[in-house]
Amino acid sequence: MIWLLFILITAMAGSYLLAHFTLAPFADRKAISPGQFVRLQDGETHFEWHGPARGPIIVCIHGLTTPSYVFTPLIPLLIDQGYRVLTYDLYGRGGSDRVEGDQTREFFMRQLRELLASQGITDRVTLLGYSMGGALAVARAVEAPDTVNRLILLAPAGLGVEMGRFYTLASRLPVLGDWMMEVLGPLMVYWKYSRTTTDDPFEEKINGLIRNDMRVEGTLEAVLSSQRNFLSEAMAEDHLLVAKMGIPLLVMWGELDTTIPVEALSSLQKINPKARHVVFDWADHRMPYLWPDDIAAAIEANL
């Protein structure tokens, strides 16, 4: 029995090390990231400005596994509406540094707070948050309501999220969960993003980008840390505060979304009756890059 246990532990340790050493260096990903970099307290953050030098600012915050390029098809449409668009990569994704430590609410708020300060942004901004980014946008509004003009949320996390059995188990199990994410995580990502379901050429492109990003050292650890230390938070109290402060809120949902079920809409309606909701019957969780025209139309219709 002891020998079997020894063999099992040795095999797990070996597979973990092998998986780790096959990851791509972060420097390679950083080298091909467009835009700019700014050094903040916890590390360098990759960001980009889009559109006119003047105009109302909209800050786009991406989700758990989709860096800022997820907004690529939506950005020109926001610019056409007169916005000056700021996108950035959360730590551990895209071109931003892989930072050690727990990815908590304060960890993400510090990054956004310092990024905005570094860009000299003092006016109120619109926050557009997608998935986990939606929860971060709400957290920022609660932290600094006088800096937020309004909130636009796309399939926001915080009121119900279905990560699937694998990711749920990995986030709940110490040590074993880390092994699962390091060794089996790349296989899960490859399986999820290895096929396209539409004729949209950007779907295939973004699938390839995400597959590559998940193979960069430190990325899967960041995803797991976010699941454990931020996505596990319930945002009901935060949404209640947003409602009490009267911050305008527009939320978009996908009827076919299995990651952020549309059923969360009813919960949010009870918390914030003044929030506006748009449901796309044909959309799933990939809204920003597969249905940007519908998102832009909903924003324009709900100004």
Mean pLDDT, residues 232-239 = 92
| Tokens linked to 288 | 């920003």
Does position 284 have pLDDT exceeding 80, yes or no? Answer: yes
Give residue for tokens 């939506």.
Answer: 74
Mean pLDDT, residues 153-177 = 83
- Three-state DSSP class for 101? coil
Residue predicted with more confidence, 196 or 225: 225
Q: Cα separation of 97 and 165, whole Å?
A: 29
Question: Please, are residues 134 and 154 in contact by the beta-carbon 8 Å criterion?
Answer: yes
DSSP 244-278: HHT--EEEEEETT-SSS-TTHHHHHHHH-TT-EEE
What is the reported pLDDT for 75?
98
Question: Please, are residues 248 and 153 in contact by the beta-carbon 8 Å criterion?
Answer: no
Helices (DSSP H) in 155-235: which residue ranges? 165-172, 176-179, 185-192, 201-213, 219-229
Does position 16 have pLDDT exceeding 90, yes or no? Answer: no
Going by C-beta distance under 8 Å and a sequence separation of 6 or more, which residues neighbour residue 246?
Answer: 274
Least confident of 86-95, 98-107, 160-169, 250-259: 160-169
The topology (CATH level 3) of 2-301 is: Rossmann fold (3.40.50)
Band (292; pLDDT cuts 50, 70, 90): very high
Question: Please, are residues 283 and 257 in contact by the beta-carbon 8 Å criterion?
Answer: yes
**What single letter denotes the amino acid at residue 297?**
A
Model confidence over 4-13: pLDDT tens digits?
Answer: 443 444 434 4
Question: For residue 148, what are the β-bridge partners?
Answer: 125
What is the reported pLDDT for 188?
82
Does position 15 have pLDDT exceeding 60, yes or no? Answer: no
